[in-house]
Structures are given as structure tokens and as C-alpha cells.
Structure 1
Amino acid sequence: MEKQNVTLSLPKETLRKARLLAVERNTSLSSLLVEIIEEIVAKADAYELAKERQLALMNQGFNLGTGGKATWTRDELHER
């Protein structure tokens, strides 16, 4: 995969903690950030796919077993 360098501006304390976290995980700061960003992108992609599937199902509609015709009247539904 082709890579491109980017420049980030982070608060100093956040950067310090991120470096410590990378050391704890025995990885580089760059690798840690790549892992986190890839996870976020994967979740966003999965969400979009799920949303598209659900919208397609809603557009298709559900079989209510009525053949598209109501076999009752409004009054029948509201009888007590």
C-alpha cells in the first residue's frame, strides 16, 4: 500500500501519553496512529454498508401477509 506522510499538531501532553502508549505496545507512534485510524475507517465503512442494507430493506418493504390490501376497516380496528 502506498503511504503518504502527514503533519499533525497535537497537544504536548497528548503526544507524550501517545508515545508512552506506543512504547507499552512495543510499536512506533506512527504504527499506533495507523492502527487507530484504520480501525476508525473500518468501523465507518461497516456502518455505511449496514445503513445501505437497511435502507434497501425498508425500500423493499415487508410482507405483512395481506397481499397489499387491508382486510379491515378503521372502525373495526378501533372497536372496544
Structure 2
Amino acid sequence: MRNITVAVDEETHRLARIRAAELDTSVSALVRGYLRGLARGDQAAVGADALAETEAERRQRLLGEAIDDITDNGGGLRVAAHVPRDALYERSALR
């Protein structure tokens, strides 16, 4: 995932944080969603309609972000993180 730095005035930042809190998300997630929509060519991403989000749309967006995060991090599974089967059954190791 790439990072983008954006400069905005204090009032825009304050209002964006308030709106993000109302939508139970972050400013970064709002910008990410806007840029994804813009890249896909969604006209709503450019207009004020992009700020209106239903609960179902919010859940779909959050699910998409979670899936993107998992796939960006290699699925979240590492072989080294798994405990060998024999170690799971060693009672002395649990005490």
C-alpha cells in the first residue's frame, strides 16, 4: 500500500475529522474510498453524493477495506507463526 501526503487548511481538516467520526471511519479511509471511486470512474466520487453513505454501503466498504488489508499483507498467515501439532498436545508446555 502506498502513502500519500495531502495538505489541507485547518477548517477542512476539522470538518473532515468530524464527518469521518459521524461515519465511524477515518479521514484516511474517506480519502482512500474517494480515490478508489475516482480511479474506477464513479461519477458519485466527484460529487457531494459521495458523502452520503447507507449502513449497507458502509459495511460493504469496511469489508472491502478489510479484504484489501488482508491481501496486501500476504493473507495474514505466516508459516513461522503456527505452533507445531505436537506442541499443542504437550501439557507441560501449557503450565
TM range (shorter): 0.3 to 0.5
* TM-score normalised by the chain length of structure 1: 0.48
TM-score if structure 2 supplies the norm length?
A: 0.41
Q: Which has the larger radius of gyration?
A: 1
* Greater percentage in helix: 2
